[in-house]
Amino acid sequence: MPHRFRSDKKMDSEAESSEAKTSASGAESNGESRAKRPRMDVNSLPTRQYLDQTVVPILLQAVTQLNKERPTDPIEWLANYLLKNKPQFTNGVSNNS
């Protein structure tokens, strides 16, 4: 169920996030790799868009695999999975502090 925001500004941010995800998935389906995309400045992104572009992709993949494997220590398994697979999700992200 989608989360609805009260302010118009936040709803606009959610719409922009959806558009960004759509264009990003379109680029990936056209064979464009993550490494070829321009770097983005994560400090300038709204919270939802930042999480959608930096955390959600790897976390969704990790939780899906976690559900398939069902390890006895899921937290440790998840931490190891995230660290092991981090490099494939970090291209194109810049933290210009």
Q: How many helical (H) and strand (E) elements, i.e. helices and strands, does the chain have?
A: 4, 2
For residue 72, the model assigns a pLDDT of 98
For residue 6, the model assigns a pLDDT of 43
Q: How many domains does the chain have?
A: 1
CATH of the domain at 66: 1.20.890.10
Residue 85 lies in a domain: yes
For residue 93, the model assigns a pLDDT of 58
Rounded Cα distance between 59 and 93, Å, is 16
pLDDT tens digits for range 2-60: 544 444 445 444 545 455 554 444 444 444 444 455 566 778 899 999 999 999 999 99
For residue 23, the model assigns a pLDDT of 45
Residue 76 lies in a domain: yes
pLDDT tens digits for range 76-85: 999 999 999 9
Whether residue 96 has pLDDT greater than 90: no
Q: Which of 33, 50, 32 is nearest to 95 (CA)?
A: 50
Residue 7 lies in a domain: no
Residue 90 lies in a domain: yes
